[in-house]
Structure 1
Amino acid sequence: MNSARVTALALVAVMALFTACNDDDIESSDSSDTDTTTGIDTSTYVLVVDQTGQGADIINHDGDEIFSWDFDAAIGNDASLLDDGSMLVCLKASDAAITFGGYGGVFQKINADQTIDWEVSYNNTTQTAHHDVDYLANGNIIFPVWEQLLVSDATEMGFSGSQDIYPEAIIEMNPVTQEIVWEWHATDHLIQDHDSTKLNYGTVQDNPNKIDINYNSAQANGDIMHMNGITIDETNNIIYVTINNYSEIWVIDHSTTTAQAATSTGGNYNLGGDLVYRFGNPLAYDNVGDVTINDVHYPNLLDTGNMLVFSNNIYDNQSAVFEYQLNPPYQLVAGEDNEPELVWSFTDSELYSSGLGGAVRTPNGNTLIAEGRDGTVWEVSDSGEVLWKYAGYNTLWRVYAIPVDDEVLSNLGVD
C-alpha cells in the first residue's frame, strides 16, 4: 500500500526519536522475575500460535514444549487461551466462499480436557469470518467478516474501481444459541469524493469519522480494507480493529444498538457506527499528522490503557513494534493532528514480517514479538536490548505471555 510510504522521511525522524525508548508508563522490572544474566522474564511461558500447522504450543525459553494443542482443521488464524484452560480458536472452513489470506469461517471452544465445548460457523456465499475473535465477559464472541459487494453495487456507493470488493463487517454472536446480538458494517459509514452523482459523496477531509471507500481502490483482489485484528475494551465499550490496507487502527463505539450502528447517531459518542477515532495513517482520511504505520497487525490493549501494534513495513523490509498512549474518550477533528503520542518503539534490521505478527508485554516490562513470516519469537527489554530469539517455527500468527504460576496451567494439568 504505497500511500503510507510517501511519508517515509517523516517516519524515519519519528523512529530516530523513539526507537527503543523508555517511558514512565512501562512497568518497572521485578528482579525476582528476571534472569539477572540475560534479562529474560523467567516468570512467563510463551503461547505460540503456529500458522503453518494445525496447533498451538506453550513453550519455555529453552524451546521445551510445556503443553500442545492439535486442532482438527487448519488454523485461520487466532487461538487464545481462556482463564479456565479452554481455548478459543479460528479454523478454516472447508467450503469457505472468500479465501483471502487469514480466512476462517469456523470457531471452536476447546475445553481443557481437549473435548469440544461448541463449534459455530459464519460462512456463506457472500460472507466469511476471518483472522481473529475476541471472547466477551458475557460469553459472546465478536469477530470480523468479509462481505462481498458486487462491482455494480460498489459503483453506486461511489467506488472508483472496476472490481467486486469485500468491505468489512463486525459480528457479535452468542455461540451457544448462534444468535447474532450486534453487528456493524463498514458500508454504512462510507465517504467518497469521486462521483457527485453517487451515494456517500462529500469531502473526505471534512468527514474524519467516515471511511473513504476509494483510499485503496486499486486493490486488485477487492480486499480493500483487510481487517486482521480485533480487541474490545469492555470497560469503555469500544472496539479496536487493525485495518492492514489502510495502515490504521479504527475505533468503533460498541455501546450502540445494531440499528444505531447502521447510522451516524446514538451510542455513548452519539456517532452511531461512524468511527469515533482512528490513528496510524492520517493520509487515509486526507488529514495532517505523522504517518507511523505501514501495514499493521494486532491491536493489543495493555492494562495501562496504552496499545502495542505490529507495523509490518516501516521501511522496505523492516518491521517495528509501536506503543501508543491512548486517552479515551476520543474525538476526531478535521484538519487537526489527531494522532496519539508514541511512547515506545522497537525495530531491528533483522526484524521483518511482510504479514502476520504481533507483540505483548511480559510482567517485568519486556516485550515478546512474533515475527510472523519468519517464525521467530523475540524478547526485548524496554531499553531495546534483544534478550532472546527462538526460531523454532516456520510461520507464526501471534505469541502470548503465560505466567508460570497462572491458574490456567493448573487447569490444563501442567505442574
Structure 2
Amino acid sequence: MIKRLLLFAVIISNISVSQNTIGTTFISEGVYDGYTLFTVSTETYLINNCGEVINQWTSTFPPGNSVYLLENGNLLRAGRTSSSDITFGGQGGVVELYNWDGNLIWQYFYDTPMMRQHHDVYPMPNGNILILAATVMSNSEAIQAGRDPLLLTETDLYNEQIIEVTPLGLDSVNIVWEWNIKDHLIQDFDATKDNFGNIGLNPNKLDINFLNGGSGGSNWLHINSIQYNEERDQIILSSRNLSEIWIIDHSTTTAEAASDTGGTYGKGGDLLYRWGNPEAYKQGTNADRTLFGQHTPYFIPSNLPNSGKILLFNNGIDRTPSYSQVDIISPPETSLGVYDYSQNTKYLPNNTDYTYDEFTTGNSDFFSPIVSSARQLPNGNILICEGNQGHFFEINSNEEKVWEYVNPVNSNNGNISSQGDPPPNANLTFRAEKYPTNYAAFDGRDLTPGDPIELNPDLTLCNSLSVSEFEIHPISIYPNPTNGSFKVSSTQNINKIEVYNILGKRVLVSSGTTIDLSFQSSGVYLIKIHSDKNSITKKVVKN
C-alpha cells in the first residue's frame, strides 16, 4: 500500500522527467494527442503517448519496409521475403493487407528473379496501391542505354519501377499503371547508343552515368520512398544514392508514362521537378549539394501547418561532420503542380524554409545514416523518427522536445527489452507515423490500451499534465467523492475523458461528460480531461 501511495504522489506532481530507458522516456505538455504506428521484426504496433499498445498486427515476414493504417482500419504493410534475388538494403517482396483484428485478408508477392518490391508501397485514395520495385537490366541493355561499361561493376543494373495495382481476391492484382526510370535516361558518353544528348539542357531526364561518387553497382539509385499527392496527382520519389528527390506525373497513361509527352503537365513520365543535388544534371558541383541520403519526402497536406511544402528527413551521410536534420522546402510553383524553372540553371529553392538539427546547437547526437522520417502534425509539432536508433521524438514550434520514445524491440530477432535496461543494440525502425485520435480508422473500435511493449513497464510519466487552458476555463467535478457516477462541467469544450487507476492503467474512456465508476473498485482515480488542444488531470475518489 505504501508503494502505491508513493506512486500516486509522483503521478499527481506533474513531473515530466523520467528515468525510463525504453518505451516512453519523456512526455510533457504540448504533445500531440494521437496514436503512433511503426513496424519492427514481424510485429506492427499502434501505441498511445504513454507507449501502451492500442493495437498490434503480426506477420510472418519482417518489414519490407513501410506500413500504413488505412481509414477503414485495415493495415497495409510491405514484408521482406527470403528471396536471394535482387538483394540490397530495404528489400521486400510481398505486400499484405490485414484487417483491424489482425487477420490477413490479401497478400501479393512481387518477387521474381527479374523484379522485386522494396522499401515502399503507398495506399491510393481510390483503393489501389502503388508498389515500388527494382527490375533487372542486363549489362548489355545498360550499355545500349548509354552506360559507360567501366561504370558497370556487377552483372546487371537495376531499373526503378512503380506499378499501381488493384487488389483482387486473396492474392492477385490488376496492374493499371506503370512507370520506369529506364524510359527517362540521358547520356553524353556515346553518340552511337540510345539517349544521347545534352545533360545540362535536359534536367527532366536522368544521367545514367552520374553515380554521385558511388561504385557503379547494380543498386545505383536506391529509391527509398514513394509518396503520392492527390491535389497535384503527382508522386514524389527519393533517391538515396544520388541524394535527390524527384517528382513525376501520375495522371499519365502507362504509354505516356514511358514517354516525354502527355499527362496533365505535358511531360509524360519525365521528371517534373528535382532537388537536392544539381551536380546530377550538370548545373552545379558537389559543393552545391543540399541532400545527403535523405528519406521520406512528401507534400504536407493542405489541412496542416506548412501545407503544400515538402518535408523530409535529411540523413547527413557523406558529409563531414555527420549529422541529420529535418528540412522543409517550398518548390517554386507557377500554378499548382507546375514548377518554375529557368533553362540551364539549378532547380530552386536555394535555401530551406525550415531546418531542424542539433549539430548547430553543439549537440551532434542526432544522426541516423539510414532509414528515418519526419511528419508534420496538426498542432504544429513535428514527429521525427531517428530510425537507426529506434528513437521517436516530437518537437514543438520552439524546437522543444515534448515527447520521446525508444523502440524496445530488437529488429533482428524480435526480442523485447525490460524497462531500465539499455535499448536493444539493434532496434532499427524504418518510419513512425502518428494518427489523430479522430482518424476514421478508430471509429467504433475498442481503443482500450493494453500494456506497453517493453517488459516491466513504468507508467509514472503519464497522465500527470496540467494546462493553462483549463485554468482560464475552470472545471468542476461532482459529486466527488462519488458512490458511482460523477459529472464533469466546464465552459471549455470537452472532447474526451480518460479514467486511470492508481497504478496508471486506463480503465475507461468516454466522449461524454458523465462518467460511471459503478463497476470499478473503491479507491482513487485520475481523470484526464481533454479539450480541443490540451488536457488536465484531476483526482476523483470512488467510495
Query: Normalising by the residue count of structure 2, what TM-score does the alignment of the two structures yield?
Result: 0.66
Q: Does residue 212 of structure 2 align to residue 227 of structure 1? A: no
Query: Which one of 256, 279, 285 corresponds to residue 283 of structure 1?
Result: 279
Tell me what 2:241 maps to.
245
C-alpha contact 1:208 1:332 (8 A) present in aligned 2: no
Q: CA RMSD in A?
A: 1.9
Query: Which one of 237, 252, 255 corresponds to residue 256 of structure 1?
Result: 252
Query: Which one of 34, 39, 46 corresponds to residue 44 of structure 1?
Result: 34
- SS where residue 318 of structure 1 aligns? coil
Extract unaligned runs of 5+ from structure 2.
Answer: 1-26, 302-306, 359-363, 409-426, 449-543
C-alpha contact 2:44 2:58 (8 A) present in aligned 1: yes
C-alpha contact 1:79 1:87 (8 A) present in aligned 2: yes
Paired with 1:46 and 1:147, the residues of 2 have a C-alpha distance of 33
For 1:344, the aligned partner's letter is: Y
Cα drift, residue 410 of structure 1: 4.0
- Would the alpha carbon gap of residues 282 and 407 (structure 1) be closer, same or farther in structure 2, given more than 3 Å must change? same
Tell me what 2:175 maps to.
180
Cα drift, residue 197 of structure 1: 2.2
Tell me what 2:97 maps to.
109
C-alpha contact 1:85 1:411 (8 A) present in aligned 2: no
- Would the alpha carbon gap of residues 356 and 411 (structure 1) be closer, same or farther in structure 2, given more than 3 Å must change? farther
C-alpha contact 1:122 1:128 (8 A) present in aligned 2: yes
> For structure 1, which segment, 107-116 or 379-388, has the greater mean C-alpha deviation from structure 2 after superposition?
379-388
- SS where residue 195 of structure 1 aligns? coil
Cα drift, residue 362 of structure 1: 1.8
Between the two proteins, the alignment pairs up a number of residues equal to 377
Q: Does residue 435 of structure 2 align to residue 402 of structure 1? A: yes
Query: Which one of 68, 80, 88 corresponds to residue 92 of structure 1?
Result: 80
Q: Does residue 315 of structure 2 align to residue 312 of structure 1? A: yes
C-alpha contact 2:204 2:273 (8 A) present in aligned 1: yes
Tell me what 2:136 maps to.
148
Name which structure has the greater RCO, CA cutoff 8 Å, separation 6+.
1
Tell me what 1:329 maps to.
338
1:237-291 Cα offsets, whole Å, 9 max, x none, are 1111111111111111111111111111111121111111111211111124943
Cα drift, residue 97 of structure 1: 2.0
Tell me what 2:163 maps to.
171
Cα drift, residue 39 of structure 1: 4.1
> For structure 1, which segment, 172-181 or 240-249, has the greater mean C-alpha deviation from structure 2 after superposition?
172-181
Cα drift, residue 371 of structure 1: 0.7
1:218-247 Cα offsets, whole Å, 9 max, x none, are 435310111111111122211111111111
For 1:67, the aligned partner's letter is: N
Cα drift, residue 88 of structure 1: 0.2
- SS where residue 76 of structure 1 aligns? strand
For 1:260, the aligned partner's letter is: E
1:95-117 Cα offsets, whole Å, 9 max, x none, are 35212111111111101121122
Tell me what 1:413 maps to.
446
Q: Which entry has the higher C-alpha Rg, 1 or 2? A: 2
Cα drift, residue 332 of structure 1: 3.9
Tell me what 1:22 maps to.
none
Paired with 1:234 and 1:368, the residues of 2 have a C-alpha distance of 22
Extract unaligned runs of 5+ from structure 1.
Answer: 1-36
Tell me what 2:347 maps to.
338
C-alpha contact 1:96 1:124 (8 A) present in aligned 2: no
- Would the alpha carbon gap of residues 72 and 410 (structure 1) be closer, same or farther in structure 2, given more than 3 Å must change? farther
Paired with 2:84 and 2:164, the residues of 1 have a C-alpha distance of 20
- Would the alpha carbon gap of residues 317 and 94 (structure 1) be closer, same or farther in structure 2, given more than 3 Å must change? same
Paired with 1:336 and 1:382, the residues of 2 have a C-alpha distance of 34
C-alpha contact 1:40 1:379 (8 A) present in aligned 2: no
Q: Does residue 374 of structure 2 align to residue 359 of structure 1? A: yes
Paired with 2:266 and 2:294, the residues of 1 have a C-alpha distance of 28
The correspondence of residues 4-43 of structure 1 with structure 2, limited to 5 A, is 38-43=28-33
C-alpha contact 2:31 2:403 (8 A) present in aligned 1: no
- Would the alpha carbon gap of residues 220 and 188 (structure 1) be closer, same or farther in structure 2, given more than 3 Å must change? closer
For 2:42, the aligned partner's letter is: Q
Paired with 1:192 and 1:337, the residues of 2 have a C-alpha distance of 18
Paired with 1:178 and 1:96, the residues of 2 have a C-alpha distance of 24
Cα drift, residue 376 of structure 1: 0.5
For 1:310, the aligned partner's letter is: F
- SS where residue 89 of structure 2 aligns? coil
- Would the alpha carbon gap of residues 264 and 395 (structure 1) be closer, same or farther in structure 2, given more than 3 Å must change? same
C-alpha contact 2:58 2:102 (8 A) present in aligned 1: no
> For structure 1, which segment, 100-109 or 168-177, has the greater mean C-alpha deviation from structure 2 after superposition?
168-177
- SS where residue 259 of structure 1 aligns? helix
Paired with 1:411 and 1:228, the residues of 2 have a C-alpha distance of 35
